[in-house]
Amino acid sequence: MTGKVTGSSKNMKLFSGRAHPELAQAVAKELKTELVPTTARDFANGEIFIRFEESVRGADCFVMQSHTQPLNKWLMEQLIMIDALKRGSAKRITAILPFYPYARQDKKHRGREPISARLVADLLLAAGADRIVSVDLHTDQIQGFFDGPVDHMHAMPILVDYIKNHYPIHNLAVVSPDAGRVKVAEKWAHELGGAPLAFVHKSRSTEVANQTVSNRVVGEVEGKDCILLDDMIDTGGTIAGAVRVLREAGAKSVVIACTHGVFSDPARERLSECGAKEIITTDTLPQSTEGWSNLTVLSIAPLLARTIHEIFENGSVTTLFETE
């Protein structure tokens, strides 16, 4: 039940916060184990109480939490869970954050601004986390914010496999929604048989959050089935604008692929009406296809389970996403 390894004193325990228990259950199923029973409740004033219903002394503990809305509550819950494990004498604590909160605030654009992604890393370390696992960080530099091992996993193989199985690879073009993600798009293009590459030139407002303007396409997309990719989609304004620009440039069709479907209002309305043939995402955050006509959700649980297994067995996490 608790993941004991035959002939070894090693003991793995898997814990889940309340934000996305379905994902944690799926990971536990992949690992052929069970989640540790946990009492979690809120006091009348909003304070969170956590207690684990079995001993964690000397255990290798993995704490999963998806940071969906209300994000700050679920972040605090994960910190409290980690603190409870530390005070319960856990041997090692790995915080699993499929979607890293505050990842977009990874640098200062102007004076008197915070670097909140670094603050989250400091909070996890202060709470007692020894290691972090996350999927498709907004920028690679976030790995350096945590003073300990960070396993940065990638959903690209899952998304690419789906695209290969559902779209003719000979007519694909890979499109980055901005110049900043061209390097990621190059990896996608390689995995998709050397597909041509393009990007959408855009400008972003420093005064208004979630406001960008897509201007024009750089690259050849006419007559192509375009794979428009991003790490996360929040309100959908950038991606919807990019779809419009691609269609105006003569794209045959546009398929959106992202790892983290945040989908804050009015994302569903924008993406359903923007002209995209399909929106593909993963379940790093809780998803529902209700009200969508073109949303596909792929499971990230097998990747997370393999990552946990490699960490527990002191294996190589890198081999899970390395390509030739």
Q: Write out the two tokens for 14.
A: 């898997």
- In this structure, the answer to whether residues 26 and 143 fall within a common structural domain is yes
- 140 and 92 co-located in one domain: yes
202 in active site: yes
| Residue 206 pLDDT greater than 90, yes or no | no
Residues 212-237 have a mean pLDDT of: 90
User: Within a domain: residue 4?
Assistant: no
Q: Is 230 annotated as contributing to ligand binding?
A: yes
Whether residue 141 is found in the same domain as residue 264? no
- Enumerate long-range contacts of 24-29, CB under 8 Å, 24 or more apart: 24/64, 26/299, 26/301, 27/64, 27/301, 27/304, 27/305, 27/308, 29/301
Task: Please report the pLDDT score of residue 211 as a whole number.
Answer: 58
Enter the DSSP assignment of 223: T
Q: What is the pLDDT of residue 292?
A: 94
- The predicted-structure confidence for 15-28, as pLDDT tens digits, reads as follows 999 999 999 999 99
Residue 285 CA, distance from chain mean position: 7
Same domain, 96 and 146: yes
Distance of alpha carbon 68 from alpha carbon 83, whole angstroms: 21
pLDDT at site 224: 96
Could you tell me which of 13, 48, 63 has the C-alpha nearest to residue 33? 13
Shared domain for 20 and 145, answered yes or no, is yes
Give Cα separations from 270 to 11, 134, 209, 212, 296 (angstroms).
Answer: 47, 28, 17, 14, 16
Q: Same domain for 146 and 170?
A: no
Q: Which pLDDT score is estimated for 18?
A: 98
Q: Distance (Å, rounded) from C-alpha 240 to C-alpha 17?
A: 33
Q: How many whole angstroms separate alpha carbon 62 and alpha carbon 154?
A: 19
Between residues 218 and 59, the one the model is more confident about: 59
Catalytic residue among 13, 183, 187, 202: 202
Q: Do 162 and 148 sit in the same domain of this protein? A: no
The reply, when asked if residue 282 is annotated as ligand binding, is no
Tokens read off for 40 = 């979690």
Structure tokens at 123: 């909070």
Q: How far is CA 211 from CA 36, 138, 206, in A?
A: 42, 17, 9
What are the C-alpha distances in Å from 140 to residues 95, 183, 253, 254?
A: 18, 12, 30, 27
Residues 78 and 125 occupy one common structural domain: yes
Instruction: Give the residue among 324, 321, 261, 319 at the shortest CA–CA distance from 295.
Output: 261
Alpha-carbon span 311 to 260, nearest angstrom: 23
Its domain, for residue 215, covers 156-287
The answer to the question of residue 274 being in a domain is: yes
For the chain, give the percent of residues with pLDDT over 90: 85
| Residue 43 forms part of a structural domain | yes
Residues 148 and 219 in one domain: no
Residue 78 belongs to a domain with what CATH number? 3.40.50.2020
Q: Total structural domains in the chain?
A: 2
Task: Please indicate if the annotation marks 235 as binding a ligand.
Answer: yes
- Residue 225 amino acid letter: D
Q: Half-sphere exposure of residue 293, counting CA atoms within 13 Å on the CB side? A: 9
Question: Does one domain contain both 145 and 168?
Answer: no
Q: What is the pLDDT of residues 72-126, one digit of tens each?
A: 999 999 999 999 999 999 999 999 999 999 999 999 999 999 999 999 999 999 9
Mean pLDDT of the chain: 93
In a domain, 294, yes or no: no
User: Is there a single domain that holds both residue 216 and residue 312?
Assistant: no
* 178 appears as a binding residue in the annotation: yes
194 vs 252: CA distance, rounded Å: 19
What is the DSSP-derived secondary structure letter of residue 74?
A: H
For the ranges 147-161, 211-225, 238-252, 275-289, the lowest mean pLDDT is seen at 211-225
- 4: β partners: 11
237 marked as part of a ligand binding site: yes
**Residue 194 pLDDT:** 95
Quick: pLDDT tens for 157-199.
999 999 999 999 999 999 999 888 899 999 999 999 999 999 9
Q: Give the mean pLDDT of 216-241.
A: 94
pTM of the model: 0.91
Task: Please check whether residue 292 lies inside any domain of the structure.
Answer: no
Both 93 and 23 in one domain: the answer is yes
Q: Does 93 fall in a domain?
A: yes
Please report the pLDDT score of residue 213 as a whole number. Answer: 62
Q: Is residue 324 part of a domain?
A: no
226 part of a folded domain = yes
